[in-house]
Amino acid sequence: MSLIRIGQGYDVHAFGEGDGLMLGGIKVPFNKGFVAHSDGDVLLHALTDALLGALALGDIGHWFPDTDEQWRGADSGQLLQAVYAEIKKRGYVLGNADMTILAQRPKLAPHIEPIRERISELLGCPTTAISVKASTTEKLGFVGREEGITALATVLLMQRESQA
Ligand code: MG
């Protein structure tokens, strides 16, 4: 395998009843929640998929099937950590991650820094390796109609030996 590997991830969750959104490992206050088998953390799901994708290890649904009762209401932070442990077991560490959240509402600007900090904490990496951006879709499409949220993630993995 090469010294560096790239991965991308994409996820969508629809809004439903609730009083907040799990997003990037923190609870963002909102007058809705996510419809999901797990906690619906669309950003951590995209990031987890990107990590898996970088080593061609399939996707989050393969590792944690939503048909499995074990993962009902699952903490996506734990799923992310379990996947990152697999990545490290295979000799790779995260170089950096760049993520974009598409949401018409809620306003995410005040939550970006806490999300970056939470993700670096979950992965045990510096916050400078974690980029999180947010954008609206100018009221277009399902995001614009405030039916849900989309997240995209790109990661770079480096082979551990190459770090020195
Ligand atoms: Mg998901």
Which residues are registered as beta bridge partners of 134?
A: 101
Separation of alpha carbons 6 and 55, rounded Å: 8
How high is the pLDDT of residue 164? 47
CA of 48 to the centre of ligand 1 (A): 10
How high is the pLDDT of residue 48? 98
CA of 163 to the centre of ligand 1 (A): 31
Separation of alpha carbons 69 and 74, rounded Å: 10
Separation of alpha carbons 106 and 75, rounded Å: 21
Mean pLDDT by 10 residues, the chain (164 residues): 94 95 97 90 98 97 85 88 97 98 97 98 98 97 97 97 55
CA of 126 to the centre of ligand 1 (A): 25
CA of 150 to the centre of ligand 1 (A): 10
Q: Angle at the Cα of 107 (from 105 to 110), degrees rounded to 5?
A: 155
CA of 36 to the centre of ligand 1 (A): 7
CA of 93 to the centre of ligand 1 (A): 23
Q: Angle at the Cα of 82 (from 43 to 68), degrees rounded to 5?
A: 80
